[in-house]
Amino acid sequence: MRAGKHVYCQKPLTYSVYESRLMKRVAREKKVVTQMGNQGHSGEGTRRVVEWVRAGVIGTVREVHIYTDRPARFWAQGLPRPSAPGTPATLSAGNVRAVSNALAAAMANANPVMPEGLRWDLYLGPVAEDIAYHPVYHPFTWRGWVDFGVGALGDMGAHLVDQAYWSLGLTQPTSIEATSSLWGMETIPVPAGAAAGARPTQKPASYPMASTVHYQYPAVGSRPAVKLSCMTAVCFRRAPMDCPMT
């Protein structure tokens, strides 16, 4: 955009709200045309949903429930960072941390051979850490890892929230409440000489397998307030049996 080029790109668009606002500002400054790959937004199905809702076909909408099973069927989340190759996969106890450590070690020895022709250094791009190649990241399942993606909600929300946001004229939420299963963690080596307990020993590596996020939107005009709930891996309540997963 700074070179004056128009841009069409795929989602997820950015890693943070700051990045999104920066791109919006640069696009306006440079007067370029931009579009994100929400192909469904231009499709007949999405436009029909918007027409139904705005025509009152399903009545007044006060709640929206959105489900996706992507982190259960398409890519994994809630996984630990793979250990260094050669780490023995031993299980010292039955608690979550011990099982996670054993899984991390087992993953380390699961075919970590880089595909021929892949420039992993270029793939890492602006990622701050020199993360070793592993097939759990590339080519498709990077979506579930904090270093590369934005999890199921950030990845699929661009598609799944679109119809409700568009048809109901939603703006900014007044409150957001989120709950989730455990994050996948990575062990942080303790620096030499550091006092015990003075520094964190773990940090998030992959997004939770399941989560529920509730957004509260204010009333606008004749449209009442709306509660929009996004559930990944159908956390804390079952989806209706006739509700297709996407």
136/131 Cα distance (integer angstroms): 12
Helices (H), the chain: 17-30, 44-54, 70-73, 96-108, 120-124, 151-160, 162-168
Phi and psi of 190, rounded to 5°? -80, 125
Measure the N-to-C terminal CA separation of the chain; round to a whole number of Å.
32
Strand partners, 229: 65, 214
Element (H, E) at 211: strand 211-217
171/196 Cα distance (integer angstroms): 47
Q: What is the mean pLDDT of each run of 10 residues along the chain (246 residues)?
A: 94 87 96 88 91 96 93 89 81 83 84 87 89 90 92 89 95 94 87 76 91 95 95 61 50
Residue with tokens 């809702």: 53
8 Å CB contact between 211 and 235: yes
179/183 Cα distance (integer angstroms): 11
Strand partners, 216: 175, 227
